Amino acid sequence: MATFGLVVHHERPEAFALAAEIVQRMEANGHKVCLPIADAQRASLSSNGVADSEFASVLDVAVSLGGDGSMLRAVHLVSRSNVPVIGVNLGQLGYLTEVEPAGVWDALERFLAADFEIEERMLLSVSGTGDLELDSVVALNEAVLEKTTQGPTVRLDVSIDGQVFTPYAADGLIVATPTGSTAYNLSARGPIVAPTHRAIIVTPVSPHMLFDRSLVLEPETTLQIVVSGHYPARLAVDGRTIAELAPGAGIACSASTHAARLVTFGPRDFHRILKAKFGLNDR
């Protein structure tokens, strides 16, 4: 018997319908299915709901039903427990999702038959420094320090492995993983890095300074960023607002000891996904 965890996109009726079908079929075959309480309530599956804090501890695998955003949420819920994640794509072509809806039953059967591989993706560990009390959180895509909605350009002092590098005057600073290189980092004209690499990518957003280049750093690097000047900055991790930092507060970013464990059913063609996203031709 296996225990499946479903993470469901809250705005997609087809995700709720598929979740209900998975629960019915898996339970009929003697397996167990659970969902985070909020997902279970939205999907009318309240009896299958468990608290977020307990979700990962009971799972053999998490199944994300949605797009890349749902995958990010699934990884946040289970990565510290090393639970693998299957991504079912119910959105547009995604960088993270592996399985199309028509293939979901084959994917679940292959998982039960141990006919799959695990692709590990580097995670960032982000913690607070100075006046910011923040226990470590993980990021699959990026951590961003940026100006507040109404605020002007922020000043961010950056140190690398304890050595002062330079202050940035910019709308923000992105610290991305290779997986996140095709997310916000890409829109800020940062480099595209194959997602199975290990590296820390630092890209300024609309910098007001001569040095406007991205940095690609060793994964063992510890990056410290402190808000200086007179204006606060907002911290977002994988698109979720975490805190507002006053001058003097900061964050430390380094490679996490955990990894995102993505289930694959054959070689993942990252180059094909890039070509589809950008409409690239063979010649």
pLDDT band, very low/low/confident/very high, at 267 (cuts 50, 70, 90): confident
100 and 47 belong to one structural domain = yes
**Contacting residues for 16 by C-beta, under 8 A, at least 6 apart:** 8, 42, 43, 44
Whether residue 85 contacts residue 74, with contact meaning beta carbons closer than 8 Å, is answered with: yes
Of residues 94, 141, 95, the one with CA closest to residue 256:
141
Q: Does residue 93 surpass a pLDDT of 70? A: no
What's the chain's average pLDDT? Answer: 93
Q: Rounded CA gap, 33 and 19, in Å?
A: 10
Q: Could you tell me what percent of the chain has a pLDDT over 90?
A: 82
Instruction: Tell me the average pLDDT across 71-96.
Output: 91
Residue at 171 is within a domain: yes
Q: Does residue 268 surpass a pLDDT of 90? A: no
50 and 111 belong to one structural domain = yes
Residue at 283 is within a domain: no
Q: Does residue 242 surpass a pLDDT of 80? A: yes
110 and 133 belong to one structural domain = no
Residue at 128 is within a domain: yes
pLDDT band, very low/low/confident/very high, at 271 (cuts 50, 70, 90): confident
pLDDT band, very low/low/confident/very high, at 2 (cuts 50, 70, 90): very high
251 and 137 belong to one structural domain = yes
Domain that holds residue 112: 3-116+265-278
41 and 14 belong to one structural domain = yes
Residue at 129 is within a domain: yes
Q: Does residue 164 surpass a pLDDT of 80? A: yes
155 and 109 belong to one structural domain = no
14 and 87 belong to one structural domain = yes
| Pairing relationship of beta strands 117-129 and 250-264 according to DSSP bridges | antiparallel
Tally of CB atoms within 10 A around 21: 12
143 and 209 belong to one structural domain = yes
pLDDT, tens digit, for every residue of 48-70? 999 999 999 999 999 999 999 99
Residue in the structure block whose two tokens are 């997310």: 183
Quote the pTM value. 0.92
216 and 129 belong to one structural domain = yes
Residue 210's Cβ-side half-sphere holds a number of Cα atoms within 13 Å equal to 1
pLDDT band, very low/low/confident/very high, at 94 (cuts 50, 70, 90): confident
Whether residue 3 contacts residue 33, with contact meaning beta carbons closer than 8 Å, is answered with: yes
Instruction: Tell me the average pLDDT across 166-186.
Output: 96
Residue at 80 is within a domain: yes
Q: In CATH, what number is assigned to the domain containing residue 86?
A: 3.40.50.10330
Q: Does residue 281 surpass a pLDDT of 90? A: no
Instruction: Tell me the average pLDDT across 239-264.
Output: 95
Query: Which of 114 and 98 is assigned the larger pLDDT?
Result: 114
| 3-state SS string for the chain | CCEEEEEECCCCHHHHHHHHHHHHHHHHCCCEEEEEHHHHHHCCCHHHEECHHHHHHHCCEEEEEECHHHHHHHHHHHHHHCCCEEEEECCCCCCCCCECHHHHHHHHHHHHCCCCEEEEEEEEEEEEECCCCCCCEEECCEEEEEECCCCCCEEEEEEECCEEEEEEEECEEEEECCHHHHCHHHHCCCCCCCCCCCCEEEEEECCCCCCCCCEEECCCCCEEEEEECCCCEEEEECCEEEEEECCCCEEEEEEEEEEEEEEECCCCCHHHHHHHHHCCCCC
Q: Which residues pair with 188 in a beta bridge?
A: none
Whether residue 229 contacts residue 48, with contact meaning beta carbons closer than 8 Å, is answered with: no
Of residues 34, 37, 99, the one with CA closest to residue 60:
34
Query: Which of 63 and 134 is assigned the larger pLDDT?
Result: 63
Residue at 182 is within a domain: yes
Q: In CATH, what number is assigned to the domain containing residue 177?
A: 2.60.200.30
Whether residue 176 contacts residue 190, with contact meaning beta carbons closer than 8 Å, is answered with: yes
Q: How many domains does the chain have?
A: 2
For 102, 154, 170, 176, 191, the CA distances from 209, given in Å and listed in that order, are 50, 12, 8, 21, 19
Q: Does residue 269 surpass a pLDDT of 80? A: no
92 and 72 belong to one structural domain = yes
Residue at 192 is within a domain: yes
Residue at 241 is within a domain: yes
58 and 170 belong to one structural domain = no
Q: Which residues of 168-192 are buried (b: 16+ CB within 10 A; e: fewer)?
A: bbbbbbbbbbbbbbbbbbbebebbe
Q: Does residue 283 surpass a pLDDT of 80? A: no
Catalytic residues: 68
Lowest mean pLDDT of 144-153, 183-192, 193-202, 215-224, name the range: 144-153
Here the tokens at position 172 are 């923000």
147 and 249 belong to one structural domain = yes
